[in-house]
Amino acid sequence: GNSVTQMEGPVTLSEEAFLTINCTYTATGYPSLFWYVQYPGEGLQLLLKATKADDKGSNKGFEATYRKETTSFHLEKGSVQVSDSAVYFCALTSPTETSYDKVIFGPGTSLSVIP
Amino acid sequence: DTGVSQNPRHKITKRGQNVTFRCDPISEHNRLYWYRQTLGQGPEFLTYFQNEAQLEKSRLLSDRFSAERPKGSFSTLEIQRTEQGDSAMYLCASPRDSGANVLTFGAGSRLTVL
């Protein structure tokens, strides 16, 4: 079945450090890939998405590139801020699912950025 | 305001009691999803509605769980005879817009079973 694997956290970085959170997936067909973020005390929200191979999703300085050959969608940011402290979830939807909206999530990676 | 409203935000109950959660999704969208999230885990799919029809249920949804969407608008998720293992955050979501395959989530209803 479809699944998502993420690097385990928690990840602790100093402000302005470079961030990479690894994500790999297993899916049939051609999934769409997402990063969702959950800030403390808030609901899940979409950070970025990519719908086909080699697409790059970007938002708020974060980027991720859909790599079909390595089945990966790693999240990167060049300079993190304290306000980026949150839990990040890699996710996918697959057109082979009964509902193409159904999102399958990875376990999440907690990021703490210290001043 | 995410457009998806859930209540109550937090429910504490004793084992064996019944609880009900309500979700008011983004209006004009006919699909609605329920997920469950436990501490340190990603959200897990529970069930999905298109209008009032419940089209898919996860194996996680035991017979103590029932979800309804009587008029194709709001939805309820009821848990009967709660167990401590039911303690989790219950999330509701609906598509952000038609055809986008992006979900907008509510803030969730946290259940604590003592």
User: In this predicted model, what pLDDT tens digit does every residue of A77-115 receive, in sequence order?
Assistant: 999 999 999 999 999 988 766 666 788 999 999 999 999
Q: Is the pLDDT of residue A75 over 60?
A: yes
Q: Number of CB pairs < 8 Å for A and B?
A: 63
pLDDT at position B86, please? 96
CB of A7 within 8 A of CB of A74?
Answer: no
For residue A79, the distance in angstroms to the closest alpha carbon of chain B comes to: 25
pLDDT at position B96, please? 76
- Compute the average pLDDT of residues A58-80: 97
Contact B24/A at CB under 8 A: no
For residue B23, the distance in angstroms to the closest alpha carbon of chain A comes to: 14
Instruction: Assess whether the previous peptide bond of A40 is cis (omega < 30° from 0).
Output: no
Beta carbons of B42 and A91 less than 8 Å apart: yes
Contact B48/A at CB under 8 A: yes
Beta carbons of A99 and B56 less than 8 Å apart: yes
Contact B105/A at CB under 8 A: yes
Beta carbons of B55 and A98 less than 8 Å apart: yes
Beta carbons of A46 and B50 less than 8 Å apart: no
Residue of B nearest to A88 (CA): B42
pLDDT at position B44, please? 94
- Compute the average pLDDT of residues A35-60: 93
Q: Is the pLDDT of residue A50 over 60?
A: yes
User: Hey, which bits of chain A come out as E strands?
Assistant: 3-6, 11-14, 19-21, 23-26, 32-38, 45-50, 56-59, 62-65, 75-77, 86-93, 104-105, 109-114
Q: Phi/psi at A38 (nearest 5 deg)?
A: -130, 105
Beta carbons of A104 and B45 less than 8 Å apart: yes
pLDDT at position B98, please? 58
pLDDT at position B101, please? 76
Between the CA atoms of A9, A102, A34 and A11, what dihedral angle is there, to the nearest 10 degrees? -10
Whole-number Å distance between alpha carbons of A60 and A47: 8
pLDDT in tens, A1-28: 889 999 888 999 999 999 999 999 998 8
Contact B98/A at CB under 8 A: no
Residues in chain B predicted with pLDDT less than 50, given as ranges, are 1
